[in-house]
Amino acid sequence: MSVEQQISERRRTIPWAALAAGSALSAGIAIVANVLIRAIFLAAFDISDDFDPLASVAMIFPATIIGVGLAALVFALIIRMRSQPVRDFQIVALAALALSALPIIGEWSSNDAAGGAAISALALMHIATAAAVLVVLVPFVRRRLSTES
C-alpha cells in the first residue's frame, strides 16, 4: 500500500454537525462561566475599570466565541489528518491553554491596572473556556467518530 493510500485511509470525514453543536454548547457554557468569574472577582476585589479584558461583559462574548471557534477548527483539522484525533486534540488544547498564559503574563507586566486579582480572573476565564471545550465538545465529537468507525 502506498503512503498516499495510507494517508487517505486514515483521513476521516469531519463530523461538522457534531462540531457545530458541541461548539455552540461549549461556547454557551464558557460564556456563562466567564461572566460569573468576572462578576465574582469584580465583587470580591478592587479591580480597576482600566483593565480592558474585564472592563465590560460585552468583551467576554466575542473573545469566548472566537476561542471556541478556533478550537473547533483545529479539532476539524486534527480529525482529518491524524489517526487518533481525540487524544491529539486534547494534547493540542492543553498546549494552547498553556500558551494562552503568555499574553496574561504580558498583561500583568505591562498594564498598571492589572493586579493579581484581575490576572487571576483572566486566567480562570481561559481555564473555564478550555474546560468547556474539553468536557463538552470532545465527547460530542468522540461519540460521532465512534459511530463512524
In this structure, what C-alpha cell is assigned to residue 70?
A: 478556533
Chain CA centroid to CA 127, Å: 8
| Amino acid sitting at position 67 | G
* CB atoms near residue 19 (< 10 Å): 20
87-106 per-residue burial string, b: 16 or more CB within 10 A, e: under 16: ebbbebbeebbeebeeebee
Whole-structure pTM over 0.75, yes or no? yes
**How far is residue 123 from each of residues 103, 107, 144, measured CA to CA in Å?**
10, 11, 31
pLDDT in tens, the chain (149 residues): 554 444 455 567 899 999 999 999 999 999 999 999 999 999 999 888 888 888 899 999 999 999 999 999 999 999 999 989 999 999 999 999 999 988 888 777 666 666 889 899 999 999 999 999 999 999 999 998 888 65
